[in-house]
Amino acid sequence: VKVTQAELNYVGSITIDEDLMDAANLIENEKVQIVNINNGERLETYVIKGERGSGMICLNGPASRKAAVGDIIIIIAYAIMEFEEAKKFKPILIFPDERNKLA
């Protein structure tokens, strides 16, 4: 996804359009890893619901220092499960367009 905002004066987190959260099966307050393709930065934070349909991807607080508006980031969520379940698990991957909209 493309970073649309960076808000330094905030407690911290990443705000994600609720449509994207639903598509990726993310929940509010879930811990995620952010990987910035533009500068190689990596960080962990938690998810805040953004306005549905807005395309919003906003890094808040200290996380805002790790990306600039327009940077492309990968948002990764992990799960803990039993070994046999993990062998059958299929991750959810979404690839929004340049406006962070789903096709």
| Positions marked active-site | 13, 46
Spatial distance between the Cα atoms of 11 and 62, rounded to a whole number of angstroms: 8
Cβ proximity of 13 and 60 under 8 Å: yes
Spatial distance between the Cα atoms of 42 and 26, rounded to a whole number of angstroms: 19
CA neighbours closer than 13 Å in the CB half-sphere of residue 38: 11
CA neighbours closer than 13 Å in the CB half-sphere of residue 59: 28
DSSP β-bridge partners for residue 50: 17
